[in-house]
């Protein structure tokens, strides 16, 4: 599928596993099929919300291959190939290409901080080695190091195979500058918001959409915002954005949010395993009760009693 089709709502899909940490193929297939039917514009597997950081290499490759077979070209498929070392990223990237990914998502190396020149050379080597289009992933709250606007612009102009960025930052000004400085210099460069409630800022500034985890269980809200924006239906956009603002409270319920998203998927009607990979803990009964309240407040679940 052409990379130009990669716009709009791209949920970071959770990895469905059983209590032993093995891929639950039936649950994974059911979730992917529900998402494909929901109207989302693409799928991201093995991103942060996909728990890649807690997976052994064999499981990461199993999930990637399963996703490639299940999606089978029906939507653009992004696969996360992030790792601290350049050669490991390239290995995951080659595997992603072999199983049918349309693009690869790469967060900057974590643990050791790097100079900007080292980051540039890391990404340039990945882009020059892989045929698969590369999307940068900026998540400084987790990596401890930001991909600066200047670095992203330099990479975008030097590496045609680096085609976009997922910008997961609390400051919408950073994403806006990416749109102005990078997309302005290279109009085909894609800029996505990583935080759900900031997706509308991204679109208004000229960006390309978002990667909202809430789209896994409330795609009508997220896809509705994108559709309303494209159709300039600002009355609907306002109402949906307010619902999304309420819904985004789920991320404050537990750390990390992996189990909360899976529980939300279950509460909205898909019977999947809620298991998470160690060392993450499943949400407590109290957290589950709070989650249900948030879903009701946002109109995702009907009010009870």
Catalytic annotation, residues: 48, 111, 137, 166
| Strand pairing category for 162-167 and 103-107 | unpaired
Give 268's contacts (C-beta < 8 A, 6+ positions apart): 217, 218, 295, 300, 301
Taking each helix axis from N to C terminus, what angle separates 149-158 and 116-129, rounded to the nearest 10 degrees?
30
Residue 151 backbone dihedrals phi, psi, to 5 degrees: -65, -45
Residue 285 burial (C-beta neighbours within 10 Å; 0-12, 13-18, 19+): exposed
Are the beta carbons of 265 and 217 closer than 8 angstroms? yes
CB 304 within 8 Å of CB 78: no
Rounded CA separation 38/41 (Å): 9
Nearest Cα to 267, choosing from 282, 289, 286, 251?
289
């Amino acid at each position: 599928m052409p990379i130009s089709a990669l716009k709009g709502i791209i949920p970071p899909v959770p990895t469905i596993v059983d209590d032993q940490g093995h891929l639950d193929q039936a649950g994974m297939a059911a979730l992917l099929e529900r998402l494909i039917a929901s109207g989302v514009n693409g799928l991201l597997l093995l991103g942060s919300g996909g728990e890649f950081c807690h997976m052994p290499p064999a499981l990461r490759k199993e999930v990637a291959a399963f996703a490639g077979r299940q999606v089978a070209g029906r939507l653009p498929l992004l696969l996360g190939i992030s790792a601290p070392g350049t050669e490991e990223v390239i290995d995951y990237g080659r595997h992603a290409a072999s199983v049918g990914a349309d693009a690869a998502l790469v967060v900057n190396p974590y643990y050791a901080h790097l100079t900007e020149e080292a980051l540039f050379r890391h990404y340039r080597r990945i882009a020059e080695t892989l045929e698969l289009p590369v999307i940068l992933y900026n998540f400084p709250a987790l990596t401890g190091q930001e991909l600066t606007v200047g670095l992203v612009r330099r990479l975008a102009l030097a590496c045609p195979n680096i085609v976009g960025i997922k910008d997961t930052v609390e400051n919408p000004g950073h994403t806006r500058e990416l749109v102005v400085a990078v997309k302005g210099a290279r109009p085909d460069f894609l800029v996505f918001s990583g935080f759900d409630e900031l997706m509308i800022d991204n679109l208004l500034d000229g960006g390309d959409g978002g990667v909202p985890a809430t789209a896994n269980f409330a795609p009508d809200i997220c896809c509705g915002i994108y559709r309303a924006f494209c159709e300039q239906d600002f009355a609907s956009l306002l109402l949906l954005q307010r619902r999304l603002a309420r819904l985004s409270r789920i991320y404050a319920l537990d750390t990390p949010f992996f189990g909360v998203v899976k529980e939300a998927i279950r509460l909205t009607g898909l019977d999947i395993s809620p298991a998470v990979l160690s060392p993450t803990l499943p949400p407590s009964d109290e957290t589950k009760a709070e989650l249900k309240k948030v879903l009701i407040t946002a109109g995702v679940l009907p009010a009870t009693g």
